[in-house]
Structure 1
Amino acid sequence: MTNSNVSIEDVPINRFHQLLTVRSGGGSFVDGYVLSIVGVAMAQMSVGLGLTSFWQGMIAASALIGIFFGGFCGGWLTDRFGRRRVFFVGPTLFILASLAQLWVESAVALFLLRFSIGIAVGIEYPVATSLLVEFLPKKSRGPRLATLTVLWFAGAATAYMIGEAILHHGGDDAWRLVMASAAVVGALLFALRLGTPESPRWLLSKGRKQEAEQVIAQVYGVGFSLANLPEELKTRRLSFLSLLHSGYGKRMLFVTMFWTCSVIPVFAVYAFAPKVLGALNLKGEWASIGSVAITSLFVVGCIIATRLLNTLGRRTTLLHSFFWSGLALLGLGLFSGASEPVILLLFGAYALLIGGAQVLQLVYPNELFPTEIRAGAVGVGTSLSRVGAAVGTWLVPIGLDTYGIGATMYAAAAVTFVGLAFSYLLAPETRSLNLQQAASLA
């Protein structure tokens, strides 16, 4: 029995899709964990290693700098050598670099290890998302890619819970155990990914038709073949440089700018949450309540946005997210000296409303570029967005000490409104298109 008239983008979600979502989403969970754990350990770590404000900022930004290089390399490697091979590079680096933090003795050494972890994170974005999107049905594509962002925040929340528990019971050097705890999560991710097949779309782009046929039959059933993927047979040959021309340069500009403007305030908040909340007069019990509430609202905001992608649409969700979250940051600047409930309300509103821009970071670049350059586009977007995020994160402690919390919040609001402007001018709508249509320039 054959299914020659059924596109694989129209089949129902099956067990393989569910497992692949977990395998790819596990990378986002680990990313959120390793990038956020430094904020938990920063205070005790600064005392233990005698870190200055400069090195606090550099270590907080080091992983973001690593992501810059990892994104470029990961995107190129994934498009060149395949999704499956590169799928295990990130978890391996997570394990080795995280364990090494147990014995670190200097700011420079810690910077280099965090930089290596950043490279692993940068590799994760293009390989995990491109592999997932190339198997998913059309209706599930946006929500499932968006779920990876939800898992990022879940990983961040887990980092705060586990990190705080270790700090309270681990003594003066507990920060070492806090930082090294990511190795356990990395090991679980490595084991989870064993047995993952290669993307048939990538195999087909390399002319490996027989292998692509085998994977399609394995995943979708013996009645499915390359005939259920006819649009890929017509794909023109593109190179990594096509991201800068052939009509895709404009799309790359959009992805880079909206991604950058959506991550700068978020990474700054996560890296220096206790310091930012303290500057907003949230201390002691209020600070603890605030950290938990804000982290939870980030997750809730992403979940709500995920549900809106197929109803409200990608473009509308993005514009509303930037506009309303920007107003919340503006409010934090205007009322930076307000009472604790007002600060929590505004900060919570930002965390809830930025969810739309966060979940679309992995949706848009995977939809707007074809198979040959898809991972490369995600990698470039990851890398360039982290340049701004790294600079912003490094400047947070300096900005707070020099200009105060009000000016810092105004700057965050300005960045968010820049993202709104670029999205208004360049964001397309792709919710009703299959993967080939969304990536086409026609």
Structure 2
Amino acid sequence: MAQRPSVKGVADVVGLIDGLGKITGRAQVIWFLVFGGLFLDAYSNAALSAGLGPMTSQMELTSTQVSVLTATAPALAILFNPIGGWLATRIGRVPPLLLAKAFAIAGALIAAFADDFGVVWVGRVLVGVAYGIDFAVAMALLAEYTPAKLGGRLNLWQAVWYVATTSNLALALLFFNLDVGADIWRWSVGSAAVVAVLLLVGQWTMLKESPTWLAGKGRLDEAVANLDAIYGIKAVAGRPDAATLASSAAPAIGFRHAGVLFKGDYLPRTILSSVISLGQSMQYFAVGWYLPLISLTIFGESFEKATIGSMVFNAFGIAGGLLSAYFGRRLGLRLSSAAGFAGVFVALLAMGLTFEKVPTAVAFLLPVLFILCHSTGPGANGKSIAALSYSSDVRALGTGVTGMVGSFGSVAGLYLFPQIKDSLGLADTFLVLSVVPLLGMITCLAIKWDPMKADRSPDEAAADALASTDAPGGLPDTAKTTTAR
């Protein structure tokens, strides 16, 4: 009988998971259940977008009220991305995910049954809280569930985003054909509660706490048990190594430790992931704001035709999201982001220079190019690169901070660029916006870090650094962590 491997700390857990060639069985179900939360986040955002027109008419909303409702969720995410990361660091990865589903259910139901703007806004506040917590924690947990060689799979969240958006648009089209009238937005928003309930039940039943997080807390017996429950890996808890003793004895990491993200080797990683996250969210939410207008121009001004047109655009986002996993694995997250930013830069320049000067077919192809390049490169990598760039003790905090920066970009895209459009016109707005992907591309080319090309995982490198310095406790010296090949 083969001797079972001994787990003495985080590095051992990471090594056992990284040794897997694929994710199968219960691990596969758990993996997609975590992804389901990201589906819900996108679905909830699309639910408001699909029904915003009928809601505006029924409630006689002003343009300011519409803007507030649209930007509430990303604005709340600015605060709750890091809060979600903090919770995941302190109490584990799974409890915040379940809490997020509860907020999502409440927010969707409150908005669906609202009779005035104020109540709808309260519902969107709760959805924003759920969105902020879930995204920060889910990406960190997915990174810890996934073998290093399969890290590119994290990019599939982008395809999931577009699938969720398309699903809600299709459902809105169904409600439209059922002739529910102006209440179509209530059905669209309320359906998000059904999705959230299903996910809450599934995650409550199936999810297991991250073995990596448990090992970092010195709870080796539980880590070993979860390795078996999730992957079928048979191991035994050994005597805690120096890194485990140090991390379990150190004070729990909180916001006051966020400075570690800006020291040593973590500094360029934080800059790179933050710039990608900021740039992709600004360009998506700014241009995404105008895609319905383009859809109306191309496919007609009826609700049905405009919805079908939006679904066509989203189909290219699904394709790009699926391709992102391939390009992330082959090129790395850094270079695939640079290439995506370059394509978006070209698309925006062309859109600005040729607006209302080219045939309809060309006007259609340019937004398609934008969506494909965005979703294949920085759109997907903005979340994935942060989740893969930090050791487990600061991973959730890192994804939370990066998500916060990205949410700033969302708010800027939703608020700043419509104002530029009013001042300069749509064509010049596209030209101004092209600066965003240009700066993103330059940053990706200047900073060489790429977690897909690293010799060792951040956890293994952090453990080696701690052991080599015989640190008595606290956070590892990130200046000695792994570098890119």
Contact 1:39/1:271, CA 8 A, preserved across alignment = no
User: How far apart, CA to CA, are the structure 2 residues paired with 1:353 and 1:370?
Assistant: 30
After TM superposition, the structure 1 = structure 2 runs for residues 24-39 of structure 1, keeping only pairs within 5 Å, are 24-39=34-49
Q: Which structure's CA Rg is the greater one?
A: 2
The verdict on how the C-alpha distance between 1:181 and 1:231 changes in structure 2, with shifts beyond 3 A counting, is farther
Distance 1:128 1:386 in 2: 16
Q: Give the root-mean-square deviation of aligned CA atoms.
A: 2.6
Give the distance between the partners of 1:384 and 1:406, measured in 2 at CA.
27
Conserved 8 A contact 1:216-1:226 = no
Match of 1:296 in 2: 315
Amino acid at match of 2:3: T
Which whole-Å CA distance do the structure 2 matches of 1:388 and 1:172 have between them?
A: 32
Query: Aligned partners of 2:355, 2:125: CA distance in 1, in Å?
Result: 33
Correspondence for 1:261 among 279, 283, 301 = 279
Kindly tell me: are residues 204 and 270 of structure 1, through their superposed partners in 2, closer, same or farther at Cα, counting changes over 3 Å? same
State the AA in 1 paired with 2:346.
L
Q: Deviations over 1:166-198 (max 9, x none)?
A: 234211222222222111111111112123111
Is 167-176 or 382-391 further displaced after alignment? 167-176
Q: Is the 8 A contact 2:156 2:325 kept in 1?
A: yes
What secondary structure sits across from 1:28 in the alignment?
A: helix
Shift of 1:276: 5.0
In the alignment, is residue 359 of structure 1 matched against residue 360 of structure 2?
no
**How far 1:232 sits from its partner (Å)?**
6.9
2:113 maps to 103
Q: Counterpart of 1:428 in 2: which secondary structure?
A: coil
Contact 2:54 2:182 in 1 (8 A): yes
The TM-score with structure 1 as length reference comes to 0.91
Match for 1:362: what amino acid? K
Residue 44 of structure 1, aligned match among 50, 54, 66: 54
SS at match of 1:11: coil
How far residue 156 of structure 1 moved from its aligned partner, in angstroms, is: 1.0
1:252 to 248, 255, 270: 270
SS of 1:207's partner is coil
1:204 correspondence with 2:215: yes
CA 1:275–1:102: 2 relative to 1, 3 Å: same
User: Does 1:310 find its partner at 2:321?
Assistant: no
Return the offset for 1:231. 11
**Is 1:319 matched with 2:338?**
yes
Greater CA deviation, 50-59 or 181-190? 50-59
Note closer, same or farther for the CA distance 1:167–1:68 as it changes in structure 2 (3 Å cut).
farther
Q: Which residue of 78, 89, 95 maps to 1:85?
A: 95
> What residue in structure 1 maps to residue 10 of structure 2?
none
- Give the structure 1 partner of residue 450 of structure 2: 429
Deviation at 1:418, TM superposition (A): 1.9
Which residue of the partner structure matches residue 70 of structure 2? 60
Distance in 2 (alpha carbons) for counterparts of 1:365 and 1:72: 13
Query: Which residue of the partner structure matches residue 377 of structure 1?
Result: 398
Match of 2:17 in 1: 8
Identity of aligned residues (%): 23
Q: Where in structure 2 are the equivalents of 1:30-429 lying within 5 Å?
A: 30-143=40-153, 145-168=154-177, 169-193=179-203, 194-221=205-232, 223-225=234-236, 233=244, 239=253, 240-247=257-264, 248-271=266-289, 273-275=291-293, 277-278=295-296, 283-284=300-301, 287=306, 290-337=309-356, 338-355=358-375, 356-429=377-450
* 2:30 corresponds to which of 6, 10, 20: 20
Aligned 8 A contact 1:254 1:427 in 2: no
Alignment-mate amino acid for residue 333 of structure 2: R
Query: Which amino acid in the other structure matches residue 350 of structure 1?
Result: F
- Cα deviations by residue, 1:255-309 (Å, 9 ceiling, x for unpaired): 112101101222234455323545x666438755542221100110111121122
**In structure 1, how many angstroms separate the alpha carbons of the residues matched to 2:20 and 2:437?**
38
CA distance in 2, matches of 1:109, 1:38: 14
Unaligned residue ranges in structure 2 (runs of 5+): 7-14, 463-477
Is the CA contact 2:101–2:196 (under 8 Å) kept in the aligned structure 1? yes
**1:348-401, Cα deviation, whole Å (9 max, x unpaired):** 011111121122122211111111110111111111211121121124544444
- Give me the whole-angstrom Cα distance separating, in 1, the residues matched to 2:258 and 2:110: 37
Q: Using the alignment, how far apart are the partners of 1:297 and 1:230 within structure 2?
A: 49
Query: Cα 1:230–1:142, aligned 2, differ >3 Å: closer, same or farther?
Result: farther
2 CA distance for matches of 1:76 and 1:373? 9
Change (3 A) 1:325 1:222: closer
CA positional deviation for 1:329: 1.4
Does the 8 Å contact 1:67/1:383 carry over to 2?
Answer: yes
- Structure 1: unaligned runs, 5 residues or longer: none
Could you say if the C-alpha distance between residues 282 and 207 of structure 1 is closer, same or farther in structure 2, counting changes exceeding 3 Å? same
- In structure 2, how many angstroms separate the alpha carbons of the residues matched to 1:245 and 1:313? 23
Residue type at the aligned position of 1:118: G
- In 1, Cα distance between equivalents of 2:348 and 2:310: 17
Q: 1:406 to 1:369 in 2, by over 3 A?
A: same
